[in-house]
Chains A and B, each alone.
Chain A
Amino acid sequence: MLESLWIHVLNGLYYGSILFMIASGMTIIFGVLGILNLAHGELYALGAFCTFSIVGFLAGQVASPTGPVTAIIFGLVVLAGSLAAAAVLLPIGGALEATFVRPIYDRDEVYQLLLTYGLLLVLTDVMKVGWGPSPIDVGVYSGINEIPTTELVGISYPSYNVLVILVGVAVFAWLIWFFDRTKTGRIVRATAINREMSTAIGISTDRMFTLVFAIGAFFAGFGGAMVSIGPGSASLGMGLDWLVLSFVVIVIGGLGSLKGAFVGALMVGISSRVATAYYSPLELAAPFLLMVLVLLVRPEGLYGTWGEIE
């Protein structure tokens, strides 16, 4: 029973890590640009589809894992392919911001929602044209799991899940480092806090906003890559559930808070996995119940900020 509980917690960390990667992109975009991006789930899906093509191609260039050395090579190739697939989202995100989002920053929120919903539909059709209407699977998951199964304090657990948890922590650490320690990150934060002042001291807010949107799209795409090379497949419509859950996460964590998104994602992941184990009908409701509870206690979310990356 206790062993099962620990595995449920690990399952929750795995699920929460993917959720964080997706929600972090939404948090960055909302925190800096003030845009609630309804197309974010489709950027995630686009990352999954790109992964099918890029990882599928790269994995075909190396042998499947048969021993420790080939396993490491195979794993590195898949990881590099996932990063490359997510990197495709950088120029796409930048172009979307510069072309469609930039003209409506000063418009009412309803225009932003309509625009990003329109982008959602367009991106769906783009993926349909590019990869067809049916689900597609990279098919490398079993290969990755052949990299020796991890033994965590006596618990046998899928190696891929451990990899995703570690990647999730690395993404969080990188984002904190970027926004706290780098000049570009600090400029982004300063721009988010006071656009007029930033412009007055010579910062190109247009360039900053494009960069932020591109980074947000990258992490959405990277979340899609993690799902796609894992046990899931890439399919049209796959972004909807994650879009809704990402909203739940950033509301729980506090709008615009990276730390909040990380904690919120792990809370949603763990609570939903554990709750499902003990009362299965809660599987869908658990994240929303958690959100209601948090909002009752802290209406601004756990680390609530507004219009500022923290």
Chain B
Amino acid sequence: MTTGPIAGTDLDGIDRRTLLKTVGGSALAVALAGCTELLQGEDDSLEDADVPDEPIESGLQTFTEGAPAVLGVQAQYGAETAVRRINENGGIAGREMNLDVVEEGGAYLVNYQQFVDEGKDVTFGPISSSGHAEMVPEIEEQGVVNVSTDGTVTTLYEEDFPDVTYSFRFQNHDVMEALAAVNQAVEVLGADEIDTYAGINPGYAFGQDEMELFSQGIEQLTGAEQVHSGFPDLGTDDMSTHITEINGEEPDVVFSSCWGGDATLLLEQGHANGMFDNIELLVGTVLYGSANDMSADLVDGPIYSGSRNFYWGEPSIDRWSPAAELVDEVQSEYGVVPTAHFMSGYGAVTAWATAAEKAVGLLGRWPEQEEIATILENHGFFTPAGYHTIGPDHQGYSNAHFGELTWSDERDAAALADVNVFSAESVSPPPGETSGDWIGSW
């Protein structure tokens, strides 16, 4: 099931004409892909469009403080970087973009409603899965397009809201990273060597969704038995009970979708309690989201981590110059390395901006909300992370990555080594089928 990069994700094997055609040929799309130099001398067909002069007003809600800020601030940096690049490249069909950022903690609906009341042209966020689920009916009611940065519970668009118009999600949903973790575990240990598994996941919708999908996947592929599953509260201060249980059961694989401070806590207490001597493998889907908070000793051990579609070392910054330039820009601007959640913010803005400009090109005027929403369905675009699509189901799709957690002295941050790239088709169901049914059919 492991595959190479899908077509067009690397400069190798893709010529300038193909790239321009793929990204829509506009200066903005190419700039957001991180390949501005490719467009020198190209004509811009948007000059004659009937577009207002005033700036586009947008709002992002994300976690700006507290424990979840580990992810949320990265999303903010990502959105700000995309907006900065948009404005430096002449705006969207000539319109500059303003971005307001507000704290999302517990105020998802109020934030969205306030954005709408303020006349925002588009809204982005939230990070939270439960917050996203709360917002979708309101978004459909208000009719202002929202591109969620994360909020990735698999059932959201598959079962809970299968027919929506204005609500979209940029990031790959949970099934894609949970199954990437399954495949990574099977590749490292071999299906015949995995007899038991356990899980430590955050005690809310996201963690439960990820554990359920991982369980389905690994049991289908290996027949392994679950020996422990714990759901500590998000932002917990202690995971010692779950680690003690794992040490007692000695499972072959431990799966975790812990993120932020929970991820570092798991590694700290796991090392202190000897957990890595009692298991064969820890696969953690978003451990890497804490790359800026880890130390070299924490990543020591059989620890494999994934990234939904991006981290600073993959797509390889040695081969893919847009990623390398972005990493340098973000380290210079913010003093951090960008993680997948940086790309959550960057990608959500890019999805909407490129769709809006594509709509202007087609219509010859600034589009209505419903028209942008129509364009966003089946919309494809590049970012420095490679090629992404928004499907007809309003989900985001792109390659997922998994590799061994290691340390980079050069960047003074956690990194991934021996990376496997999983195409979207290999870790998510075909259109119209739910993830549970699809995994069950293997």
Contact = CB atoms under 8 A, between A and B. Distances in A.
Contact of A277 (B231, B235, B245, B297): B245
Interface string B317-353: 0000000000000000000000000000000000000
Interface stretch (A174-182, A235-243, A249-257, A289-297): A235-243
B272 A276 contact: no
B272 A134 contact: no
A272 to B, nearest CB: 8
21 contacts: A8-B241, A8-B244, A11-B241, A15-B238, A18-B237, A134-B69, A134-B70, A134-B73, A135-B69, A135-B70, A139-B295, A158-B272, A231-B265, A233-B67, A233-B261, A233-B293, A273-B238, A273-B241, A276-B242, A283-B230, A283-B232
Contacts of B260: 135
Given A135-B293, A281-B231, 4 more contacts: A8-B244, A134-B70, A161-B240, A236-B66
A70 B238 CA distance: 28
Interface of A: 1, 3-4, 7-8, 11, 14-15, 18, 128, 133-135, 137, 139, 141-142, 145, 156, 158, 160-161, 227, 231-233, 235-238, 241-242, 273, 276-277, 280-281, 283-284
B392 interface: no
A134 B335 CA distance: 13
B430 interface: no
Given A133-B69, A283-B232, A145 B244 contact: no
Given A135-B261, A281-B231, A283-B233, A235 B244 contact: no
A134 B269 CA distance: 21
B264 interface: yes
B88 interface: no
Interface size band for B: 35 or more
Contacts of A158: 269, 272-273
A11 B239 CA distance: 9
A160 B274 contact: no
A231 B248 contact: no
B65 interface: yes
Chain A to chain B: the 4 pairs with minimum beta-carbon distance, closest first: A133-B65, A231-B268, A237-B66, A158-B272
A227 B265 CA distance: 11
A280 B240 contact: no
B311 to A, nearest CB: 18
Interface string B65-89: 1110110010000000000000000
Interface of B: 64-67, 69-70, 73, 203, 229-233, 235, 237-238, 240-242, 244-245, 247-248, 260-261, 264-265, 268-269, 271-274, 293, 295, 297-298
Contact of B248 (A1, A133, A142, A241): A1
Contacts of B64: 133
Contacts of A18: 237
Contact of A11 (B69, B240, B271, B295): B240
Nearest to A283: B232
A1 to B, nearest CB: 7
A41 to B, nearest CB: 12
B65 A142 contact: no
A4 B244 contact: yes
Contacts of A135: 66-67, 69-70, 260-261, 293
Contacts of B73: 133-134
Contacts of A160: 272
B92 to A, nearest CB: 29
Nearest to A280: B230
A140 to B, nearest CB: 10
Nearest to B336: A134
A231 B271 CA distance: 10
A3 B245 CA distance: 11
A133 B101 CA distance: 14
B212 to A, nearest CB: 14
B390 to A, nearest CB: 30
A296 B413 CA distance: 52
A162 to B, nearest CB: 11
